[in-house]
Amino acid sequence: MKLKALMRALPQGVIKGSREVEVTGVCSHSKWVAPGNVFIARRGMTADGNQYVPEAIQAGAKVVVSDLFDPTLKGITQVICPDVALAEGALAAAYYGQPAQKLFLTGVTGTNGKTTTTWIIQQLLHENFGPCGMIGTIAYRVGNRTYHATHTTPDVVRNHRMLKEMVDCGCPSAVMEVTSHALDQGRVNFIDYDVAVFTNLTQDHLDYHKTMEAYFAAKRKLFLKGKKEKLAVIAAGERMVEESEVPVMTYGIECIADLVATDLNGSALGTEFVCHYQGKRYPCFVPLIGHYNILNCLAALGACLQRVPLESLVPKLSHLAQIPGRLERIDNERQLTIFVDFAHTEDALKQVLSCLRPLTQGKLSVVFGCGGDRDPTKRSKMGRVCSQLADEVWITSDNPRSENPLKICEEVSLGCSGNYHIEPDRRGAMEKAINAISKTDILLIAGRGHETEQLIGGRIIPFHDATVVREICA
């Protein structure tokens, strides 16, 4: 593709140099640049992309997009644009042929429930509507290929590239987890959604957004009007119902909404419920437990209903595959009841522990920690909710990053009371907790879910909760 053709997507850009350059791709990471690429010199929170222009040129970049003109660059076409983040999305969408316009595309946002809702949508659409691509916390799925996820919502260029691959693979649909960071940083710019799902909003990421109002404002960007006729699927009672610019379908449990679940009957194997929609009743069973997971199911059904009738969706619910690290029961040689879950906020811990309590014949225990270099104000709150809902609490490390693990644990313990212990070594805490339970007890290991690496200081250490459970129980 010639640069002059690509620049039709960026009419506000001022070109200094040849318009006839043959462009082979768009890239914002200097280490990933290939010969003939357009390099996006974008300013980030901790680094300025203009610093990496020499490295990008050495790697073969032929065009640089920046908000600054550099007269020292010889033989390189420069595109000067005041909003480089916006330019990155526009150029990526244009280079990859506007792939979002060719897919039935769902975006899922919310503090908790994004991953589970996204996985359910992917499975239901895949079974009823043809291959469904997915971009999210646990994995990226493109056709029959699955890639390890580096970010819940990757950078805007990778998003457009993966959506293009999905189109090329014959996927008629795709679903994405869309984080508040991604919305705030423009990582989904020029990606138009057919359905936008909102699960909930509770305290998280205040280290980044600073206030709950700013956190909400970032989420709201997914519910603004776009090129497509978008539908919002939002939990009943959420403020976003009133703030959405696009039509809303509401969902909830035992409430007034468009899509409602009643008559919930849960066991360790799953949950039966009745789904009500447009005056009809649909008996359902899902191999998931907890009211919050029924809400996730309703959100997924609401999204899928835009292409598949409910009569076709309901039978598939009973065959949903286990979602890694989301209230995942870990088989072990001791035959103990141990769950691993990603819950890492006060609300998520409350929801998970509340759903496990009725299933517990004996003692309910929890092992958890709080991430370092993240919102410290939620630490004692997480400790408090665990002390209130569990019989025994083991405070340990999550991903301490640059912080002192013991200091984090002590800050968590400020909210604790009753029977709690501090053991900063995560494996040690898990081993002590496992050795302290019997077959009538339930143990929840929370915070990291599917994650396979632990970040301690400057080191990345292999650590997978489910694997460690099996090793301890062997």
Last residue of a domain, one of 33, 68, 95: 95
Q: How far apart are the first and last CA of the chain?
A: 57
| Same structural domain, 18 and 119 | no
Are both 243 and 268 inside the same structural domain?
yes
pLDDT tens track for 16-41: 999 999 999 999 999 999 999 999 99
Q: Which one, of 121, 93, 66, lies nearest residue 6 by Cα?
A: 93
The token pair at 23 is 């462009």
Q: Which residues contact 18 (CB under 8 A, 6 or more apart)?
A: 3, 77
Mean pLDDT along residues 114-139: 97
CATH code, domain with 433: 3.90.190.20
- Average pLDDT for 106-130: 97
Q: Please check whether residues 310 and 163 belong to one and the same domain.
A: yes
The answer to whether the beta carbons of residues 441 and 365 sit under 8 Å apart is yes
CATH value at residue 28 = 3.40.1390.10
Same domain, 345 and 466: yes
CA-to-CA distance for 392 and 261, rounded, in angstroms? 33
Quote the percentage of the chain above a pLDDT of 70. 100
Domain harbouring 143, CATH code: 3.40.1190.10
- Domain range spanning residue 338? 328-473
Whether 11 has a pLDDT exceeding 90, the answer reads no
Confidence of residue 303 (pLDDT cuts 50, 70, 90): very high
What is d(CA 457, CA 403) in angstroms, rounded to the nearest whole number?
A: 7
pLDDT interval class at 44 (50, 70, 90)? confident
Whether 26 maps to a domain, the answer reads: yes
Is the residue at 322 inside a domain? no
In a domain, 340, yes or no: yes
- Domain match, 209 and 178 both: yes
In this structure, the answer to whether residues 348 and 435 fall within a common structural domain is: yes
Q: What is the count of structural domains for the chain?
A: 3
In the predicted model, is pLDDT for residue 227 greater than 90? no
> Are 130 and 225 found together in one domain?
yes
Same domain, 52 and 119: no
**Residue 46 banded pLDDT, cuts 50, 70, 90:** confident
Whether 133 is in a domain gets the answer: yes
The answer to whether residues 113 and 237 belong to one domain is yes
> Does residue 282 sit in the same domain as residue 392?
no
Spatial separation of the C-alpha atoms in residues 56 and 197, rounded to whole Å: 38
Would you state the pLDDT for residue 260? 99
Are 243 and 232 contacting, i.e. CB atoms less than 8 angstroms apart?
Answer: no
Residue 248 within any structural domain of the chain: yes
Q: What is the mean pLDDT of residues 89-117?
A: 98
Say whether pLDDT at 203 is over 90.
no
- Residue 45 confidence class, pLDDT cut points 50, 70, 90: confident
Domain match, 270 and 349 both = no
Stretch 70-77: mean pLDDT: 94
144, burial (CB in 10 Å: exposed 0-12, middle 13-18, buried 19+): exposed
Cα(65)–Cα(78) distance, integer angstroms: 6
The reply to whether 323 falls in a domain is no
Flag whether pLDDT at 73 surpasses 90: yes
pTM of the model: 0.93
Same domain, 91 and 104: no
Residue-wise pLDDT for 330-362, tens only, equals 999 999 999 999 999 999 999 999 999 999 999
Q: Which of 95, 129, 156 is the last residue of a domain?
A: 95
- Calculate the average pLDDT of the chain: 97
| Residue percentage of the chain with pLDDT more than 90 | 96
Position 429 pLDDT exceeds 90: yes
Which among 55, 80, 95 is the end of a domain?
A: 95
- Angle made by CA atoms 463, 469, 470, in degrees to the nearest 5: 110
Q: What is the pLDDT of residue 12?
A: 87
The pLDDT value given to residue 278:
98
Average pLDDT over residues 174-197: 97
- Give per-residue pLDDT as tens, 240-275: 999 999 999 999 999 999 999 999 999 989 999 999
